[in-house]
Chains A and B, each alone.
Chain A
């Protein structure tokens, strides 16, 4: 019958096509080169992947003949899942650009190579980078990676909106923040919009108020997260919210006006965000940045960024180490800085400001920025923030009660 003959033909065509498609990949493996795979979440839409693929990697391969780097960008939302699956199946790449909050978890799973032991020049390398980002690689006595890029949150505001709010400048202290928020509301604007209650959102306020999440060895939260200063930091936000001076997107619902949309539309004046905000909104909004309003603890923000980690299962550790050194070299860091990735090298701070002037505020803020608690259970701890804190904002509990129960739950996780 014609149908079955057509079927056979189609199947044959499919076979031929698939073979052809995969043949190309097979042929290239014939040369005697070391190939290292590098998983990352650089976004294809922006300049990051282009710079990596077209500038940095070719330069590396030129100066290191015999090593080929395979760049595997993965959508950020899926990278963690892919890593976890890779761990389970024993199929991990040589290098990963990992979010700093995943490093303790991966190290705890035993899949990362302790670089302080395997890289002979680790001490030299680590002295070239900022200490804060470096600390995010530390777990149970060893360093499991090196910082690759860093970022922090600063107080970014639209100068046009600031003027419409009747203010002459951004607030410098908690007290000014409260006063300015009221002034702005009188003119129909929200001075400060925050989009959630995870640690990334609120920890800057806790720290700036002089509080902390845990003790210095990261083993206990009670007495710290629910200490008087931490409570004061959150209380300030709750007071602002209850007085109607902050939009309700802080509760984490997805239906409200987002921070970027709000600032673009002139309804919000400022928010806290990283350097990418300038890259994204700089064209449509007159953005300026300053350090976070200072509380009793000063102006302290939160460290973000990515580390480069090497897997224990890598069969090309020497080559991977070479690429790691290359990525931490001033030349490559400079290249990525132009693509919007803030460098981790202490020596490049002047160049950074030349590339993008807004980096100067970030450099200032990151000098004393603090990391989130390094622990494999970080996702659960963040969940606790997001389920307990809203109760204080909604008025179901007092701030003290919410933080008490949060601290208790976090104790159990640490």
Chain B
């Protein structure tokens, strides 16, 4: 498990592609065959990825440097980082950032904790296991458009399901909450939708991970007399740590990329109160036809997510693990 222990190999890992050294005779022939094999395994997928994803990313970045004119043949005005500085001075951009951040901060821990809890509960021989797994996964499977409209309806102030439950049925609140009429209650409503829809997703990833934890390890801990929670903390949790790591990273990415639910539940309103970065970007690009600005907003979002991902990778990295 310790590939990085050999100094020459560490040196190789530490280099970036641009500093490729010719493979010298000090490597065995099998080593070279392995490298070629690696490239062969990588080639078809990566070629497709590079063409369909990476190349458009560079085009999009190019667009962000212009006052881009949509119609082909019309000249576009080069403005360098003008769109980016426009974003920095745009109060709604910052508001969108805060809103996206709030959504992420609420939905990510909730999905991890609840998803993990359900996965733990389901990681056992029990009746109706398939049924439960399917039920929890159902929200994931339903289309975002349909559930966004459904939840918008459920959060209606007078008579919607949530207010009916909170106010009429259980009298938890004194009056009907105008969920979608203000910024923070609306963001909470949208976040509830996000958690509801995403819990099943993290659940099955955690379930797959938990079931990959060798049973002997779990049983060994049981023989030692450890209680269930301690057992979990000592055996399962560390074993699924990399899984928790990347689920977190992915959920953070997804959280910042929230779009459809906001678009359909509040349209970013009222008065741009609930705009998230992507709804604001969509408005700029497809309604106002300012694609340069829209691309710039997207790239700033990417930068933020990238920075956060690096931080998370560092936090989650095990000392012996090389990336």
Query: Please, which residue of chain B has its CB at the minimum distance from the CB of A106?
Result: B71
Q: Identify B160's interface contact among A84, A248, A255, CB under 8 A.
A: A255
Q: Known: A80-B286, A88-B70. Contact between A255 and B271, CB under 8 A?
A: no
Q: How large is the interface on B (under 10, 10 to 19, 20 to 34, 35 or more residues)?
A: 20 to 34
Among A54-62, A330-338, A340-348, A379-387, the one that faces the other chain is A379-387
Q: Are B72's CB and A254's CB within 8 A?
A: no
Would you give the 0/1 interface string for A80-122, flagging 1 where the beta carbon is closer than 8 Å to chain B? 1100100111100000000000000100011100000000000
Q: Are B289's CB and A105's CB within 8 A?
A: yes
* A181, CB-defined interface residue at 8 Å: no
Complex-state Cα separation, A383 to B280, whole angstroms: 12
Would you give the 0/1 interface string for B132-173, flagging 1 where the beta carbon is closer than 8 Å to chain A? 000000000000000000001001111110000000000000
Rounded to whole Å, the gap between the CB of B45 and the closest CB of chain A is 15
Q: Identify B179's interface contact among A81, A252, A255, A386, CB under 8 A.
A: A255
* B74, CB-defined interface residue at 8 Å: yes
Q: Are B288's CB and A380's CB within 8 A?
A: yes
* B272, CB-defined interface residue at 8 Å: yes
Q: Known: A254-B180, A254-B265, A255-B155. Contact between A379 and B271, CB under 8 A?
A: no
Residues in chain B near residue A251, CB distance under 8 A: 181, 270-271
Q: Identify B156's interface contact among A81, A87, A110, A256, CB under 8 A.
A: A256
Q: Identify A252's interface contact among B158, B159, B269, B286, CB under 8 A.
A: B269
Q: Known: A253-B180, A254-B152. Contact between A387 and B72, CB under 8 A?
A: no
Would you give the 0/1 interface string for B175-193, flagging 1 where the beta carbon is closer than 8 Å to chain A? 0001111100010000000
| Tally of chain A residues near chain B (CB < 8 A) | 27
Rounded to whole Å, the gap between the CB of B233 and the closest CB of chain A is 36
Residues in chain A near residue B178, CB distance under 8 A: 253, 255-256
Q: Are B181's CB and A253's CB within 8 A?
A: yes
Complex-state Cα separation, A81 to B294, whole angstroms: 14
Q: Are A88's CB and B72's CB within 8 A?
A: yes
Residues in chain B near residue A133, CB distance under 8 A: none
Considering the complex, which residues of chain B in the window 262-296 have a beta carbon less than 8 Å from any beta carbon of chain A?
265-267, 269-272, 283, 286-289, 291
Complex-state Cα separation, A251 to B266, whole angstroms: 12
Query: Please, which residue of chain B has its CB at the minimum distance from the CB of A251?
Result: B270
Complex-state Cα separation, A217 to B271, whole angstroms: 29
Rounded to whole Å, the gap between the CB of B304 and the closest CB of chain A is 25
Q: Known: A80-B286, A84-B286, A387-B272. Contact between A255 and B70, CB under 8 A?
A: no
Query: Please, which residue of chain A has its CB at the minimum distance from the CB of B152?
Result: A254
Residues in chain A near residue B179, CB distance under 8 A: 255
Query: Please, which residue of chain A has its CB at the minimum distance from the CB of B286?
Result: A81
Residues in chain A near residue B271, CB distance under 8 A: 251-252, 386-387, 390
Given A253-B181, A253-B269; 12 other pairs, CB 8 A cutoff: A81-B286, A88-B71, A105-B289, A251-B181, A253-B182, A254-B152, A255-B157, A255-B178, A256-B156, A256-B178, A257-B157, A386-B269
Q: Which residues of A contact B (CB under 8 A)?
A: 80-81, 84, 87-90, 105, 109-111, 248, 251-257, 376-377, 379-380, 383, 386-387, 390
- Can you give 20 A-B contacts (C-beta < 8 A)? A80-B286, A87-B71, A90-B72, A105-B289, A109-B74, A110-B71, A110-B74, A111-B71, A248-B181, A251-B271, A252-B269, A252-B271, A253-B269, A254-B152, A255-B155, A255-B157, A255-B180, A377-B288, A380-B288, A387-B272
Closest 9 CB pairs of A and B: A255-B180, A253-B181, A379-B287, A252-B270, A254-B180, A109-B71, A255-B157, A253-B270, A81-B286
